[in-house]
Amino acid sequence: MADRQVTQQTIFSLLSKLDDPDADLRFMSLNDLFGILTNQSSSFLTSDRTSSTKLADGLLKALDDQHGEVQNQALKCLGPLAIRVPFETLMPLLEKLANLTSSQTIDTSVPNTALRVIVDTLPRPQAGQPAPQSVQSAYNAVSKVLIPRLTGPTPSTSGRRGSVVKGMLEKDSSKGFSSDAIDVLIKVVTCFGPLLQERELDALQEPVMAIIHNDTAGTVVTKRALAAISALVLYFSDNQLDAFVGRLSDTLSSPNITTVRRRHIIAAIGVIAPKRTSQTRPAS
C-alpha cells in the first residue's frame, strides 16, 4: 500500500509539471511517466479509476503541446497506459481522442496516431484460441466507441438536441478525406478482425467504398482505402464477399460510370481477387 501511495503521488507530481513553461521539463516529466507506466509499480491503475483518468487527461492535454518532442513523448505513454487503465477509463479515452480528430484547431494526425498506438497495444485475439476476458474487454471498448465514430455520424455528447458528430471517414469540407482515419480503421481490422461482427464489417466497408467511388478523392487516400478493403475482405463471410463482388460488378457495368471511378473499381477488384480465389478466412 505504501509503495502504491508513493507511485500515485509521483504520478500526480509529474502531471502537475506538464503545465510548466519549460518544454524540457515537460518532456522529462513525460519520460518519467513512461518509466512508471512500463513498470510493475503502476499495475494498481487497473483498479484505480480516479488516478487512471487523471493520467489519461494529462496525456491528452500534452498531445496538444506546441513542441513536437513533447507530443511524441505523450504518444509514447499512451500505449502502456492503455493496458493499465480500467475499461471505464479506456472508453472515454478513445472517445476523447476520436473527438479530437474532427478538430479545426489542432493537427488531427496526432489524435489519429494516438488511436493507432492504443489499438495496437491492446490485447488482441489469437488465431484458433478463444478470446480471454482482457481481449474481450478491449474489443468491447473499440466496438462501442471507435467503430461507430469511424462509420459515423454519431450523436453528439455536447447536450445540444439533435446534434451529431461527423464520422472520421466522412469528407471534411475543408480538409477532404482523412488517410489517417483510414489507417485507424486498418489498425482496428488487423488487430480485432476475428472478433468483428458481420454488421460491423458491413458498416466499416461502406464509408471506405464511398471514398473509392468518389472522383475527387486523392491518390494517397484512394490507395489507403484500397488497403482497407484488402484488410476487411479477409474477414467477410462467403455471403458478404459474394454480395460485395456483385456490387462492384454492377457498378463497373453501369453506363454512367466515370473513368476515374472505373479505375478505382478495377483496383478494388484487383486487391480482393486473391482472397476471392482462395475463399479462406482466419479462424475466429
pLDDT tens-digit map of 160-175:
555 677 889 999 888 8
In the block, cell 518544454 appears at 23
In the block, cell 473513368 appears at 259
Q: What is the pLDDT of residue 275?
A: 58
Q: C-alpha grid cell for residue 17?
A: 509539471
Q: What is the pLDDT of residue 2?
A: 58
Classify residue 260 as exposed, middle or buried by CB count within 10 Å of its CB (0-12, 13-18, 19+). middle
CATH topology of domain 8-85: Leucine-rich Repeat Variant (1.25.10)
**Residue 255 bridge partners (DSSP):** none
249's enclosing H/E stretch is helix 238-252
Q: What is the pLDDT of residue 283?
A: 45
Measure the CA–CA gap between 127 and 121, rounded to whole angstroms. 17
Q: At residue 152, what is the residue type?
A: G
**For residue 105, how many C-alpha atoms fall within 13 Å in the half-sphere facing its CB?**
5
Measure the CA–CA gap between 121 and 229, rounded to whole angstroms. 23
Q: What is the pLDDT of residue 129?
A: 85
Residue 181 and residue 168 in contact, taking contact as beta carbons nearer than 8 Å: yes
Contact residues for 194 (Cβ-Cβ < 8 A; gap 6+): 125, 127, 235, 282, 283, 284
Give all strands (DSSP E) within 135-227, no chain letters.
154-155, 164-165
185's enclosing H/E stretch is helix 179-192
Classify residue 172 as exposed, middle or buried by CB count within 10 Å of its CB (0-12, 13-18, 19+). middle
pLDDT under 50: residue ranges of the chain:
279-284
Collapsing DSSP to helix, strand or coil, 165 comes out as: strand
CB atoms within 10 A of CB 22: 10
Measure the CA–CA gap between 201 and 209, rounded to whole angstroms. 12
Contact residues for 90 (Cβ-Cβ < 8 A; gap 6+): 82, 137, 138, 141
**Residue 154 bridge partners (DSSP):** 165
Residue 169 and residue 181 in contact, taking contact as beta carbons nearer than 8 Å: yes
* pTM across the whole model: 0.89
Q: What is the pLDDT of residue 102?
A: 84
Which residues of the chain does CATH 1.25.10 include? 8-85, 122-149+167-284
Q: Which of 230, 246, 241 is nearest to 276 (CA)?
A: 241
Q: What is the pLDDT of residue 159?
A: 52
CATH number of 122-149+167-284: 1.25.10
Helices 2-16 and 49-62, interaxial angle, to 10°? 20
Q: C-alpha grid cell for residue 42?
A: 503502476
Q: At residue 58, what is the residue type?
A: G
Q: C-alpha grid cell for residue 276?
A: 476471392
